[in-house]
Chain A
Amino acid sequence: MNELGLWAIPIAVLGGAIRVSTPFLFVSLGEVLTERSGRINLGLEGTLVIGAMVGYAVAYLSGSPWLGVLAAAAAGSAFGLIHGLICSLPRVNDIAIGIAMMILGTGLAFYFGKPFVQPVAPDLPSIPLGWWSSIPQVEAALNVNVLFLIGAAAAFALWWMFKTTRIGLVIRVVGDSTDAARAMGLRPAVVRTLATMAGGAFAGVGGAYLSLFYPGSWNEGISSGQGLMAVALVIFARWNPVACFGAALLFGGAGALGPSLQSVGISQGYHLFFTAPYVLTLGVLIATSSTTRAMTGAPGELSITK
């Protein structure tokens, strides 16, 4: 037990939510963008790992973590471009291509990442938003990385974009009806490929966060399935970017529950606490389910809804 007693748990969950949620947030925002245009990119787990590797390597070689983030975004969009182009061919299944891209991404990252397991790359800076508190736990929890803030801003920006801008409208039309989009003179394949590229860039940045900030090192085991879970979070968030932000926070915070309960001495059944994020996901999905509103918000052209 420590001086804070049980208060340590909410503080740790808050800290965990901020630290752990960022990769979930970026990957799920990328996936929202892609799925809103009518494609599913299941390969974002591979893109995340490639982003983590490229980001770490470039940060180490250049000495600048921000160059690493840019390189991760570029690598991610290159993967998105490949996925987008292949899926633009007739009668190609986007889910199968996504799985292939996932395996390709992790394989390439392991191969090219080998020389970068040992070196230590510079970390991304963080902003000490907890300066006002004299409690070290609170200070540590509120040590917020810039990428988290960028991700939060991007969630609201994407929401605004879908709602009010012409680009948002174009993506939504393409995602809801290929025929309607063609009738409007749009080129669905081009829009979808661009949306997949942008989505890949988001996922790449999510990977760079893993290797350059938290946990902050590159190795083959850096991702514990964040990319896959984030794709599921998109459905959970009903294709709404702001809801993705909430879902990522919830998921990150629930993940901090296991260690923080053990640290205050509640250690029986820690295996169960580690499943908290997944149990929570199931619970929320059941609670928000409805026989009439099933798949609300799902783009009409998505291959899982057709």
Chain B
Amino acid sequence: MPMKPLSRRGFLHGSAAAVGAASLGSLPFQAQADGHGLTVGFIYVGPKDDFGYNQAHAEGAAAVAMMDGVTVVEEENVAETVDVQNSMESMINFDGASLLFPTSFGYFDPHILEVAPNHPDVRFQHAAGLWSADMHPMNVGSYFGYIGMGQYLNGITAGHATTSKKLGFVAAIPIPQVLLNINSFLLGARQVDPEITCQVIFTGSWSNAVREAEATNALADAGCDVITCHVDGPKVVIETAAGRGSYVCGYHADQTSLAPDLYLTGAEWNWANVYTGMVQTALDGGTIPNFVRGGLTDEFIKMSPLGPAVSDASRAQFEATKAEIMAGGFAAIRGPLMSNTGTQILGAGEALVETDIALESMDYLVEGVIGSTS
């Protein structure tokens, strides 16, 4: 009897269904047991203990894992390619996840946008301000923190610590969020001394250890005595800068342990607070808003404890400015303000407060920053 030839697609379909059915029967046991269990998936682009971007998210995931009735599944080192689509599909189909946090910027378009319409019951939360109601599915949401304010506070401690009046910034790629951090860092320092300048070096990549080390050495060679960065894993920059005797300001997560004597403070994400809040909303049967933003006041970001090198005057100005920011409506970017190519950005009396949407399309470096966006 001639057998019907089995196509590869048909085989995959059948076997996947079989595996899926088997795992459905056994895996989400606790979820079925208490009736309202929730499985939450976290996906990271790099290692989750990188002292940086991914660690900040993983600390949030760890806080979620402590909540009652919640199971957390995690996957790290997932590329911003079709890989992340497979990870999301597998978390949904095999782990039963109904809330996903694919954390990297490049996961959004096209990957989340590809997968989300096939799973209307699953919520996709993405860390950036990319979601818009008229373009994207309703089961996708964006959340975002005003971490530029943290770099502004970093800048105040840097302004007090520097003796050369030159700060250094190792930056990955000139996107608006990075430019806002660089500008905020310098403007914070200029609250201490308007003569201060900031040298920026772009590495052209979110993660390239050797190039970050070279950039840090070049900044130290140029006389920068306080160095900070915006790259995925600040470990190399912090260690190299401290090795050259420069003070350092942290980013993404707390890097105090890497340079205990030279670490001034750092701008950190506070995802633990944000994620537990969102998961609690989901557990209570509520709807997570599609667009969530917050700053220091909303505990989306926090500052590392001030290091031993921070002077009393520095501490006082840091705390005073922090209180102003906490009061709301604070503007780091205020006029009169020129770009470093000589065009006017804001006239006297104008200001862009931390919540201003115009900050999210920033394409300039302010006067006093040495560097170029292209």
Taking Cβ atoms with an 8 Å cutoff, the residues of A that contact B are: 2-3, 8, 11-12, 15-16, 19-20, 110, 114, 117-118, 120, 136-137, 140-141, 210, 214-217, 219-222, 224, 226, 255-256, 258-260, 262-265, 267-271, 274
Select B209's contact among A222, A259, A267, beta carbons within 8 Å: A222
Verify if B258 is at the interface (C-beta below 8 Å from A): yes
Chain B residues near A219 (CB-CB < 8 A): 47, 50, 209, 233, 235
Chain A residues near B209 (CB-CB < 8 A): 210, 215, 217, 219, 221-222, 224
- Whether B211 and A220, one on each chain, are in contact in the complex, defined by CB atoms closer than 8 angstroms, is no
Q: Which of B174-215 contact A (CB under 8 A)?
A: 199-204, 207-215
Cα–Cα, bound, A110→B49 (Å)? 12
Q: Which of B233-269 contact A (CB under 8 A)?
A: 233, 235-236, 239-240, 243-244, 257-258
- Whether B221 and A260, one on each chain, are in contact in the complex, defined by CB atoms closer than 8 angstroms, is yes
Stretch at the interface among B134-142, B324-332, B366-374: B366-374
Cα–Cα, bound, A118→B244 (Å)? 21
Select B220's contact among A140, A256, A262, beta carbons within 8 Å: A140
Kindly report which residue of chain B lies nearest to residue A267, judged by CB atoms.
B372
Q: A12-B217, A141-B221, A260-B221 are in contact. List 16 more A-B contacts (CB 8 A).
A: A12-B221, A15-B217, A114-B47, A117-B49, A120-B239, A136-B221, A210-B210, A217-B209, A219-B235, A221-B208, A224-B211, A256-B218, A258-B211, A262-B199, A267-B202, A267-B371
- Whether A217 and B217, one on each chain, are in contact in the complex, defined by CB atoms closer than 8 angstroms, is no
Cα–Cα, bound, A163→B163 (Å)? 56
Known interface pairs A20-B210, A267-B371, A269-B374. Does A215 touch B236 (Cβ–Cβ under 8 Å)? yes
Q: Which of B46, B208, B235, B258 has the most CB of A within 10 A?
A: B235
Verify if B20 is at the interface (C-beta below 8 Å from A): no
- Whether A263 and B201, one on each chain, are in contact in the complex, defined by CB atoms closer than 8 angstroms, is yes
Chain B residues near A260 (CB-CB < 8 A): 218, 221
Cα–Cα, bound, A183→B162 (Å)? 72
Expressed in whole angstroms, the minimum distance between the Cβ of B13 and any Cβ of chain A is: 29
Cα–Cα, bound, A156→B124 (Å)? 58
- Whether A264 and B235, one on each chain, are in contact in the complex, defined by CB atoms closer than 8 angstroms, is no
- Whether A140 and B47, one on each chain, are in contact in the complex, defined by CB atoms closer than 8 angstroms, is no
- Whether A224 and B210, one on each chain, are in contact in the complex, defined by CB atoms closer than 8 angstroms, is yes
Cα–Cα, bound, A260→B199 (Å)? 11
Expressed in whole angstroms, the minimum distance between the Cβ of B373 and any Cβ of chain A is: 9
Verify if B23 is at the interface (C-beta below 8 Å from A): no
- Whether B221 and A271, one on each chain, are in contact in the complex, defined by CB atoms closer than 8 angstroms, is no
Verify if B279 is at the interface (C-beta below 8 Å from A): no
Verify if B77 is at the interface (C-beta below 8 Å from A): yes
Expressed in whole angstroms, the minimum distance between the Cβ of B72 and any Cβ of chain A is: 18
Known interface pairs A2-B223, A221-B209. Does A265 touch B204 (Cβ–Cβ under 8 Å)? no
Kindly report which residue of chain A lies nearest to residue B223, judged by CB atoms.
A2
Verify if B219 is at the interface (C-beta below 8 Å from A): yes
Chain B residues near A268 (CB-CB < 8 A): 372, 374
- Whether A221 and B233, one on each chain, are in contact in the complex, defined by CB atoms closer than 8 angstroms, is yes
Verify if B222 is at the interface (C-beta below 8 Å from A): yes
Instruction: Render B44-62 as a binary contact track against A, CB cut-off 8 A, 1 for contact.
Output: 0011011100000000000
Select B222's contact among A20, A110, A222, A264, beta carbons within 8 Å: A264
Select B49's contact among A118, A120, A215, beta carbons within 8 Å: A118
Cα–Cα, bound, A118→B49 (Å)? 7
- Whether B212 and A215, one on each chain, are in contact in the complex, defined by CB atoms closer than 8 angstroms, is yes
- Whether A137 and B235, one on each chain, are in contact in the complex, defined by CB atoms closer than 8 angstroms, is no
Cα–Cα, bound, A256→B240 (Å)? 15
Chain B residues near A258 (CB-CB < 8 A): 204, 211, 214
Kindly report which residue of chain A lies nearest to residue B164, judged by CB atoms.
A2
Cα–Cα, bound, A220→B213 (Å)? 16
